[in-house]
Amino acid sequence: MSQVKIKSALISVFYKDHLEPIVELLKSQGVTIYSTGGTQKFIEEQGAEVVAVEDLTSYPSIFGGRVKTLHPKVFGGILHRRDNDSDQAQASEFDIPAIDLVIVDLYPFEQTVASGASEQDIIEKIDIGGISLIRAAAKNFKDVLVVSSREQYEALEGLLRENGGVTTVEDRKKFAAESFDISSHYDTAIFSYMAEGQSIDRFKVSERQSRKLRYGENPHQEGYFYGPLDDLFDQLHGKEMSYNNLVDIDAAVSLIEEFSEAENAFAILKHTNACGVAIGETVKDAYLRAFAADTVSAFGGVLVCNQTITAEASEELNKLFFEVLIAPGFEEEALEILKVKKNRILLVKKQNLTTKKQFKSLLNGVIEQDRDLVSDASADFSLATRKATSAEQDKALVFASKVAKHTKSNTIVLARDGQLLASGVGQTSRVDALRQAIEKAKNFGFDLNGAVMASDAFFPFPDCVEIAKGEGIEAVIQPGGSIKDQLSIDFCDENDMAMVFTGTRHFKH
């Protein structure tokens, strides 16, 4: 039965908005409508006749509404195969009418959990009848059309209006696939709630929102983003975000959230690594200090600030070619200045990241871990050397550690007075990372005398502190934990350097 004319429909929905035109079309096409409870009342108010499910089954709604549609006359009407003589004979024997269209949505389980409701209220929002009806109708897509969300009302209305209520098997299979998407997402949400605090190690993630990207990491790779991206950002201007843009935006947002809203913090990133980070008296000052760290790599970068972008700052920003600028707001005059470049992506960051887990495909599976949400603070410092750090050095060390945490390993970060001077990133040895940072700092005119050094992991040998001393670096922050820590400590003590341990490693691969 490739084509089916809808003659009967079962409608039972939680959300009734935008249902009116569908009811009107079903009524005009002479479709028999079965319904119950609040949905029945709503349909009758639209002037359509309704056969109550209770009249069909000869059973009332029982157990406080927990059991309404769970009956052979309902499920038999959906599941019996129209091209199967035995099924047809049984349907006739037991007076089971065919149901050609099922419009059912699900109780708002996720919204109820998000509201902070009590466990009892949450449990009552675990849909039983609805999910069963959806699965039954989707399974029997050869005969039945299933609509499982108000998101599909527009498509259903089009089918009813354009085809006079006639559906093809292709139509029905597409709706069925979408229904299993909705039901599997719903079950994943329930599992996540029920498994919280339990020792059930399973990987289940469901994201129903998606956007196709221009391409993946390279033009020959297809790419998608899954998730409610619009909850995080409003895009005010520019081209469509690419895969690489999104990877850099994630890194930029993660870094900028290390800084207090009381600070004017600005960062410039390329390929997820910061090439400039600074705190300034104003947004303009913070940007110029960040830009000074690497005026070459900043070209084509992703920029992020934790303050509203001012017109004054935008005059300077507009001199640079960059891909993306992220901020919590933009002054009107700033927008006018920045919008002169049509492809420049301007994003308003609406909220902080709330995700607590990270995962990615690996080999023939997936690896998952907690996000690194530990930020080093001076209160966490354990002084390793005889010489103590000054209050000014403590601030610089905390700043440097924040940057190192968000830089590819192996990394060394050199900083002073709320400004990244240079970093060595993604090197196969920590010594190479330090040498890269020193060379870069000198290339951009920085004097390293009095600077501080941060490392994402411990020093297995004293070579890094030896090199740092030769460049005038006076204070060091590192996790500690090497069996040869004492070698680095001894060198610092012998050369009037201060070093603190944090006890927390910040590898980033």
DSSP β-ladder status, 3-5 and 8-12: unpaired
Please measure the distance between the N-terminal and C-terminal CA atoms of the chain and give it in whole angstroms.
55
C-alpha 135/C-alpha 92 separation (Å) is 23
Catalytic residue among 125, 139, 173, 237: 139
Which SS3 state, helix, strand or coil, does residue 165 take? Answer: coil
CB 310 within 8 A of CB 284: yes
DSSP lists the bridge partners of residue 237 as 346
**Strand, coil or helix: 413:** strand
Rounded Cα gap, residues 344 and 327, in angstroms: 14
Q: Using alpha carbons, list the distances in angstroms from residue 414 to 220, 435, 465.
A: 38, 11, 12
Angle at 13 between CA 74 and CA 226, to 5 degrees: 115
Q: Pick the catalytic residue: 185, 271, 341, 442?
A: 271
**Residue reference for tokens 């709330």:** 354
Residue 309 neighbours by CB distance under 10 Å: 27
Burial of 260 (C-beta count, 10 Å sphere; 0-12/13-18/19+): exposed
Backbone angles phi, psi at 423, to 5 degrees: -145, 150
Amino acid symbol at 356: K
Q: Please, are residues 381 and 500 in contact by the beta-carbon 8 Å criterion?
A: yes
271 is catalytic: yes
**All residues at 6 or more sequence positions from 275 whose CB lies less than 8 Å from its CB, including other chains:** 268, 269, 293, 294, 297, 298, 301, 423
Closest CA to 297 of 318, 264, 321: 321
7 is catalytic: no
* Distances in whole angstroms, Cα of residue 137 to Cα of each of 29, 74, 141, 277, 296: 21, 11, 6, 56, 60
Compute the distance between CA of residue 395 and CA of residue 498 in angstroms, rounded to an integer. Answer: 14
Using alpha carbons, list the distances in angstroms from residue 118 to 65, 113, 123, 281, 310.
Answer: 19, 8, 9, 47, 45
Query: In the block, which residue shows the tokens 């895969």?
Result: 243
Q: What are all long-range contacts of 13-21, with beta carbons under 8 Å and residues at least 24 apart?
A: 13/39, 13/103, 13/104, 13/105, 13/150, 14/105, 14/106, 14/107, 14/108, 14/130, 15/105, 15/150, 16/42, 17/150, 18/150, 18/153, 18/154, 19/103, 19/150, 19/153, 20/46, 21/157
Whether omega before 410 lies within 30 degrees of 0, making that bond cis, reads yes
As a 3-state breakdown, the chain gives helix, strand, coil percent values, each rounded to 5, of: 40, 20, 40
Which residues are annotated as catalytic? Answer: 139, 271
